[in-house]
Structure 1
Amino acid sequence: MLTSIIKSRRSIFQFKPEVVPNTAINQCLEAAIWAPNHGLTEPWRFYVIGTQMHIRLASIYAELRASKRANKTDINNYQSVYDHAIKKFMSIPKLIFVGQAIDSDLVVQAEDFAACACAIQNFQLAAWELNLGVQWSTGPIINAPETANLLQIDPSKIQLIAALYIGYPKAIPNTSRRPYLELTQYYD
């Protein structure tokens, strides 16, 4: 059963406009925290976004997209890109940011990042089991100082490493992987 969930899970980019129940999110978070983490540092931090915060973050997201894709002097184009970005961001049914507690030791930081990535994978697999899709985004919104300010995160202590976009999939992409034998070497 686990192997079939692992093999069938896909990143989802378009969601149905259905509400994701908090009970499902909590189940996914419960799975996430059981990820392996060296020395039981539990470096992950989760920021579950509600409706009002989602709206406020949409402005940051849209500003970042419009600034990257349009010239502010072309007001009509800039506004068009901005409005499209707002619509896109608001179409995400549920949003969770994942942060990593920053350790002063660089080796621990690397171990903790790996642990956070494992936690995110656990979250995604639990979500998939509940028929929820997730996109793990590392887009500019996670590095924007405005996002940290809004979430009241001190970037010297917590680094946002992911925005998880969650919802019921509109469609499931058909992708494949190369056979593991093409990517594996065995030694005696």
Structure 2
Amino acid sequence: MSILQTIKSRRSVYQFTSAPVKAKWIDQCLEAAIWAPNHKVTEPWRFWVLGSDMQATLAHIYADSRAKKRADPKTDAFNEIYDKAVFKFQAIPKIVLVGQVLNADPVMCKEDYAACSCAIQNFQLAAWELGLGVQWSTGPVIQDERTFNALQIDSNQVELIGALYMGKPACVGESGRKPVEKVTTYLD
């Protein structure tokens, strides 16, 4: 498949089969990620590949956050939402967290975020080429101080910018884009 075909066919995937994700596949995706363009070669990205114990720990943070948004913690509804959320998070075949090393210079910080976003896109494209789907999530679990504590990360030094949920796609949705001429202006 050409790079353009890969780019055009890639989709965010929200449902995965239970097939395991091989470590060598993750390594290939990470290898692609670190070749993203980055101004002044700052290499601001950091990655955490979760094992089953850490995924279980974060599942409870994820579930607690989700349930607190939807129900009073002292209710059966809260417990039901919590249990479903734990199951949902634990069912994700593999999770890779992406962090950005924070720079005190606001311009460099913005450049570094762009670089990390490019790294995530490279990761997703490499995964797609391997037959894996990825969902880039920016949900509350990556902003929760309990997550930083569990990962032993100083939130003043590194910002988590994405949780990459990945696995073999159970289904792939359709997508379209506006034609180039609708979003481009050519100037002399």
Q: What is the Cα deviation at residue 175 of structure 1?
A: 1.1
Q: Which residue of 2 aligns with 1:125?
A: 125
**After superposition, where does 1:19-168 map in structure 2 within 5 Å?**
19-73=20-74, 75-168=75-168
CA deviations on 1:72-98 (whole Å, 9 max, x unpaired) are 23x210000001101110110000100
Question: What is the one-letter code of the residue matched to 1:20?
Answer: V
Alignment partners' CA distance in 1, 2:134 and 2:73: 32
Alignment partners' CA distance in 1, 2:177 and 2:157: 37
TM-score by length of 2: 0.99
Alignment partners' CA distance in 2, 1:77 and 1:115: 41
Question: What is the one-letter code of the residue matched to 1:37?
Answer: N
The number of residue pairs the alignment matches comes to 187
Question: What is the one-letter code of the residue matched to 1:7?
Answer: K
Alignment partners' CA distance in 2, 1:70 and 1:15: 27
Question: What is the one-letter code of the residue matched to 1:71?
Answer: D
Unaligned ranges ≥5, structure 1: none
Q: What is the Cα deviation at residue 31 of structure 1?
A: 0.2
Q: What is the Cα deviation at residue 43 of structure 1?
A: 0.1
Give the fraction of aligned pairs with identical amino acids, expressed as a percent.
53
Alignment partners' CA distance in 2, 1:128 and 1:144: 29
Alignment partners' CA distance in 2, 1:29 and 1:181: 34
Q: Which residue of 2 aligns with 1:10?
A: 11
Question: What is the one-letter code of the residue matched to 1:49?
Answer: L
Unaligned ranges ≥5, structure 2: none
CA deviations on 1:153-176 (whole Å, 9 max, x unpaired) are 000100000000000000000111
What RMSD over aligned residues (CA atoms) do the two structures have, in Å?
0.5
Alignment partners' CA distance in 2, 1:140 and 1:177: 29
Q: What is the Cα deviation at residue 42 of structure 1?
A: 0.1
Following superposition, which runs of at least 4 residues in structure 1 exceed 4 angstroms of deviation?
A: none
